[in-house]
Amino acid sequence: MMHGGGGTRFSRVSGEVSGAFGDLGTFLPHVLGVISVAGLKPGGIFTLFGIFYFFTGLFYRLPIPVQPMKVASAAIVTGKVTPPEIAGASIMIGATLVVLGLTGVIGVIARSIPRSVVSGIQLGLGAGLAVLGLKMVQHNLLIGCLTLLVMLPVGFNRRLPQAITGVAVGVLAGLVLGGFPPMQHMAPSLQLPHLVFPGWGDIWRGTISIGLPQLALTLTNAVIVTSTLAEHFFPENRRVAPFTLALTQGGANLLSGVLGGIPMCHGAGGLASHHRFGARTGAVGVLLGTSFLAIGLFFADPALAFLKLIPEGTLGALLFYGALDLAIGGWAPASRWDIVVAVVVALLAFFVNPALAVVVGVAFFRFTPGSRPPG
């Protein structure tokens, strides 16, 4: 339907722009953390995210997100790994995903997991992200609660850019309450990514400390659950599948590993956030990719200072609303037994580990009296 002409076009454009802000609650804390704590160069990191986002938007033509890998960024922030070990982990993760995608093994894994187990993983991960969002709100309680309250009614009107509204309110409140920081020098300064050559020891240590723990979460959340959620949001989609998600993430991490970036992935939470705040096409990837490329190549330092103006409480509010969509997206239990399985899996994913939750959930589904073949 094209009734409304300009109004419809405006709502679509504003939805894509708002959707671009939707995943900041997940993206910024991890990226700012690895830059400020580990001392990694912001120019290279933003450039590589820009390349991956731009390619993702053109290839999938849907709002598929690009995020820092959570286990990896946590290890980096806590100082457990060195830059060459980060590069080694990225190379190992990238090579593994490419092999799993090209051989079709990733599809076999995905087909062996019942839908109720996937729903449970979504519910558990969504609950975990929602709790994390509320904890971030507590760090700037007044600003965070204000952002949550303002975003709530805006969310019921899909023509209004909910995420942009939340960011604007948070930044304005932060400036009013905390004062205006000095302006950064905005002259462009070219910063190119630099080559990194990890040794075999770096690859081994990066694999043990980051690669193996991260792969379990990546296969669950960034491949299987993201594919399922994309099928729910975009039934006509033909490109987002486990093997394509494995290949695009694999290629991105191989590139990131040799150019001084950090491990990157897609993610169900990011997809839910982009969709929740209005994104419906790959334009969000092109928009963010172009922006990150410009930041990384020419304006890394002043852009970093600007992004730090967004209060943590506001990022928490964005993360909270996106997490709710992840938790309930595609939730369609076919029987009471599906509900039982999903709840058990969600509890394990929330309190223990998503990868363990998948293993236990599949066994629980298949080898108990209430089980039935996946439909």
Asked if residue 187 has pLDDT above 80, the reply is no
| 228 found inside a domain | yes
Domain count along the chain: 1
> Poorest-confidence range of 28-42, 110-124, 255-269?
28-42
Domain range for 264 is 9-177+193-331
Q: Which of 116-125, 320-329, 363-372 has the highest mean pLDDT?
A: 116-125
Contact predicate 114/333, CB 8 Å: no
Whole-angstrom Cα Rg for the chain: 20
| 342 found inside a domain | no
| 97 found inside a domain | yes
**Residues in the chain, total:** 375
| 374 found inside a domain | no
| 105 found inside a domain | yes
Task: Give me the half-sphere count of Cα atoms (radius 13 Å) on the Cβ side of residue 133.
Answer: 28
| 316 found inside a domain | yes
Closest C-alpha to 72, from 92, 52, 96:
92
DSSP string, 131-183: HHHHHHHHHTHHHHHHHHHHHHHHTT-TTS-HHHHHHHHHHHHHHHHH-PPPP
Tell me what pLDDT residue 239 has.
92
Give me the phi and psi of 106, to 5 degrees please.
-60, -35
Query: Pseudo-torsion of CA 66, 72, 76, 79, nearest 10°?
Result: 170
pLDDT band of 71, cuts 50, 70, 90:
confident
Region at 4 (left for phi over 0; alpha for psi -120 to 50; beta for the rest): left
| 353 found inside a domain | no
| Cα–Cα dist 301/304, whole Å | 5
Structure tokens at 13: 């454009």
Contact predicate 54/285, CB 8 Å: yes
Secondary element (H or E) of residue 264: strand 264-265
Give me the phi and psi of 68, to 5 degrees please.
-70, 145
Task: Give me the half-sphere count of Cα atoms (radius 13 Å) on the Cβ side of residue 260.
Answer: 18
More confidently predicted of 1 and 221 = 221
Q: What percent of the chain has pLDDT over 70?
A: 89
pLDDT band of 144, cuts 50, 70, 90:
very high
Closest C-alpha to 223, from 266, 281, 269, 270:
266
| 370 found inside a domain | no
Average pLDDT over residues 75-93: 84
| pLDDT tens column, 28-50 | 877 877 776 666 788 889 999 99
Would you say the pTM of this structure is higher than 0.85? no
C-alpha dist (Å) from residue 239 to 56, 57, 104: 11, 12, 15
